[in-house]
Structure 1
Amino acid sequence: MAKLASDFLRDESGTTAIEYALIASCISIVILVAVTGIGSSVNGRFVAVGNGLK
């Protein structure tokens, strides 16, 4: 039983997959924040152009 527990604690086979998942989620968050900011800026410009055409 002790060997099984020590083998489990030393096993690093899933570590890489978890690291890639964390990196992918961080990149997704950065993209989401950037797109939201750009979208607000573009929306403001369209509103300004629309008001100028009235």
Structure 2
Amino acid sequence: MSILKRFAKDESGATAIEYGLIASLIAVVIIGAARALGTKLTTTFGNIAANLS
């Protein structure tokens, strides 16, 4: 019975899952920002190249 009580009080697994969710959310935000920035840079350099021609 004491093993079950100890298992119920152990929060290290839940903490690891929370950190994993936070890390994945941050990764998704970074990927989204990088894609948006990449699209804007492509458009900007395309405009510059068109104006130089």
Q: TM-score, normalised by structure 2?
A: 0.81
Unaligned runs of 5+ in 1: none
**1:1-54, Cα deviation, whole Å (9 max, x unpaired):** xx38x824x132211111000000000000000110011001100000001111
Show structure 1 runs of 4+ deviating over 2 A: none
Alignment length (residue pairs): 50
| 1:50 aligned residue | 49
How many Å separate the matches in 2 of 1:13 and 1:23? Answer: 15
Q: How many percent identity over aligned positions?
A: 42
